[in-house]
Amino acid sequence: MKIHEYQARGILSEYGVPIPRFEVVDDPGDARRVAEEIGRMVVVKAQVHVGGRGKAGGVKLAKTPDEAEKHATAILGMDIKGLTVERVMVADAVDIESEYYVGIVVDRATKRPVYMVSAAGGVDIEEVAATTPERIHKHPVDPDKGLSTAEAQELAAKLDTRPHVVRDIAVVVEKLYDAFTGSDASLAEINPLVVTPDEQVWAIDAKINIDDNALFRHPDIEAMRDPSGETDDLRRAREMGLSYVKLEGDVGCIVNGAGLAMTTMDVIKYYGGEPANFLDIGGSSSPEKMQTAIDIITSDPNVKSILINIFGGITRCDDVARGLVAALKERSVGLPLVVRLTGTNAEEAGQILAEHEMKSAETMDEAVEKVVELARRQA
């Protein structure tokens, strides 16, 4: 889950990372008030779930409260990479002498958190990685031991040479790691971490992504969720416990289990079709889940036919059939539907379907071939 810069700043400052004073507002008049309270140069920053806000015109320095109000007026409502700015941060601005990058990601290849630091901070770090990868220093961290003070100092020494600046950066490096593990993040970065002309160290941007699988133990972070960064169908799928990924094709799929879902997409492609989505209804099959799944899929205007492919194990086919019948009673789908149910209680499922003039395909191949053909005919 993504959180906003101001929320990430909040987490980092709890862990002791030095963060300039800030407030979040949704009104230009409030931006002026905060600028007045700060009483110095401020920076007005769009709060949206994308990077590169500076380049897009979403980060502006203001010398006076007047200017802060003007910038807030311009930035609020602005569209940045398809997202509308609903709130801005007004923060105490710092003078910048150097801009550094420090960040941690979970690296799937080494199965460890990898620390990355670069003296080429402030700019797009993906670009640095692509053009001058030697300017990024990587350091895998042993998750059992954690990050030692010595490791933090070594990383800090890649960024600066002045002993007390290195010491202050090392403190940030350690605290960022604490925040990363403490919040079960999959990514935590400060870009830029700046040194001022009088050699103070400040984190002036912050980004944290939280591992969705760990959110249950962070209700405070779960409460930070901003649905404006999430589409309606994604939100409904998440709330119902479905894993849903929208794709570009026209064959909607409702499947149980991630493995079967992947296989189904492969077989659809094999028969010359294109899946419209990945949708795993998971291990249990309440009628509500089936209804939500059908709603989500039929709300995608690209979908031309729907395949329901269930391999009953813990999931009982009769439950799925009942859910399907209930779902169809509620709404007319208006699209051709192909069902294939096999496994636990498949016979009962067949009876339920038959009572409603439906029939399960015998095999996955038969079902997929048919659903692809139906999509083609509708197109």
- The footprint of ligand GDP (CB under 6 A) covers 43, 45, 51-54, 59, 61, 93-94, 96, 99, 122, 191-192, 204-205
Nearest-approach distance from CB 44 to ligand GDP, in angstroms: 10
Residue type, 136: I
Structure-token pair, residue 361: 């395909």
Q: Which stretch binds Mn ion (CB under 5 A): 20-28, 191-199, 283-291, 368-376?
A: 191-199
Q: Which is nearer to ligand GDP, 99 or 369 (CB)?
A: 99
DSSP state letter for 27: S
List 139's β-bridge partners, or say none. 115
Q: How many CB atoms lie within 10 A of CB 245?
A: 12
| Tokens of residue 85, six digits | 């700015």
Per CB under 5 A, contacts with Mn ion among 199-218 are 205
Minimum distance of Mn ion from residue 250's CB (angstroms): 39
Question: Is residue 189 near Mn ion by the rule CB under 5 A?
Answer: no
Pick 205 or 250: Cβ nearer ligand GDP: 205
Stretch that binds Mn ion, among 123-131, 187-195, 218-226, 243-251 (CB under 5 A): 187-195
**Closest listed residue to residue 295, CA positions, set 232, 358, 353:** 232
Q: Which residues are catalytic?
A: 101, 189
Distance between CA atoms of 84 and 79, rounded to whole angstroms?
5
The partner in contact with residue 139, picked from Mn ion, ligand GDP, none with C-beta cut-offs of 5 to 8 angstroms by kind, is none
Judged by CB, which is closer to ligand GDP: 99, or 168? 99
Select the binding partner of residue 52 from ligand GDP, Mn ion, none (C-beta < 5 to 8 A, by kind).
Answer: ligand GDP
Phi, psi angles (nearest 5°) of residue 89: -95, 135
Longest pairwise C-alpha distance within the chain: 80
- Residue 5 binds Mn ion, judged by CB under 5 A: no
Radius of gyration of the chain (CA): 26
Q: Of 191, 256, 264, 344, which one interacts with Mn ion (CB under 5 A)?
A: 191
State how far the Cα of 199 lies from the Cα of 230, in Å rounded to an integer.
40
Cβ 140 vs Cβ 168: under 8 Å:
no
Residue ranges in contact with Mn ion by CB under 5 A: 191, 205
